[in-house]
Amino acid sequence: MEPVRIGIIGGSGVYQMEALENVKEVWLDTPFGVPSDAYIVGTLGGQRVAFLPRHGRGHRIMPGELNSRANIWGFKMLGVERLISISACGSLKEEYAPGHIVIPDQLFDRTRGRPLSFFGNGIVVHISFAEPFCPELSRALYEAVQETGATVHLGGTFITIEGPRFSTKAESHIFRQWGADIIGMTAVPEAQLAREAEICYATMAHVTDYDVWHETEKSVTVEMVVQQLLKNTEITKQAIQRVIPKLTDPRTCQCGNALQNAIITDPKYIPPAVKTRLGLLLDKYLK
C-alpha cells in the first residue's frame, strides 16, 4: 500500500471524517495488540490520510482502557509522519470559553498506571519531552482554525486526568492553581508515544465546558459536553480540510529524530527479540 503521511485521531464526537474520499478500512495488528478500530484510509486535498476514532465507533473504549500504544504504532505502520489529535476538553481558564479551540503547548500528566512507552524489556529510551507538542504542526493547525473564523488560542497547559469521572471542585481549583488551562483524559500517553515513534503530534482541543470550578456555570455533565461537541466538531472538521492540503513540505522540526540520542542501552545488550519486535522504530539506529 502507498504510504500514508498524515494521521487524524478523533476524540469524543468525532467518529468519522466525511471529507475523506476513496476510503477503505484497514485493520491492523501491532506488537502491542489491536488498535481502537479500523483505520479509515482515504484522500483529502490530494493527500493520503488515515483516520482513527480514538474511542472506537460508537464510543466503546474509556480513556484508561485505550490501547494508545497500538493506536500510535498502527499510524507508524501506515507511514504517518504527522498526527493531528482532535480532543474534547474542559476549560480551567475564563478566557478559554466553551466553543473555543485551544492548541496546547504543554502537558501535565495526572494519569495512573497507563503504559507510557514502547520500550522496556531490555531496552531503555529517554526521549526529550520539554516541548511535548510539535511546534510546526501546532502552528499549522492554529492558522487553519483561524481561517474558519472560530476563536482559537495558541498555547496552554493541558492536564490529563485518569478519569473516567470528571473532576471534583477541589481538584479543579488545584489544577487552576497549578497553572493548567484545559483538562482532558487522553493526551497522555498519546503525545509521548507519538514522540517515541518520531511522529509529529499536535492537538486541536475544543472546549466543551468550564469543568466544575466556574461559580456561575452548572457543573459539567455528559449532556452538556455532547451538546457543545456537536457545535465544535463542525469547526474542527473544517479546520482539518484546510490544513491537510498545506502539509506537503518535508518536516523541519526535530520530531523525526526523537530517538537519535535517546537510546541509552548499549546495543549489544538489547535482546534480539526486542530489536525485532521494535524494528519499525529501531532499525534506522541499530542497523
Give the interface with Zn ion as residue ranges (CB under 5 A).
134, 200, 253, 255
User: Which residues have a Cβ under 8 Å from the Cβ of 219 and sit 6 or more positions away?
Assistant: 166, 212
> What's the closest the beta carbon of residue 77 comes to Zn ion, in angstroms?
19
C-alpha cell of residue 43: 484522500
Among residues 183 and 200, whose Cβ is nearest to Zn ion? 200
Q: How far is CA 125 from CA 8, 122, 229, 259, in A?
A: 26, 10, 37, 8
Which residue in the list 37, 209, 249, 283 is annotated as catalytic? 209
Q: How far is CA 32 from CA 29, 182, 269, 278, in A?
A: 8, 30, 22, 10
3-state secondary structure of 263: strand
Pick from 98, 122, 129, 86: which is nearest to 233 by CA? 86
- Is 105 in the active site? no
> What's the closest the beta carbon of residue 137 comes to Zn ion, in angstroms?
6
- Quick check: bond before 164 cis, omega within 30? yes
- Is 283 in the active site? no
Which residue in the list 211, 249, 266, 283 is annotated as catalytic? 211
Among residues 72 and 150, whose Cβ is nearest to Zn ion? 72
The Cα–Cα gap between 135 and 141 comes to 10
Please name the amino acid found at residue 144. Answer: A
> What's the closest the beta carbon of residue 82 comes to Zn ion, in angstroms?
7
Among residues 140 and 180, whose Cβ is nearest to Zn ion? 140
Among residues 28 and 253, whose Cβ is nearest to Zn ion? 253
> What's the closest the beta carbon of residue 81 comes to Zn ion, in angstroms?
8
* Residues involved in catalysis: 209, 211
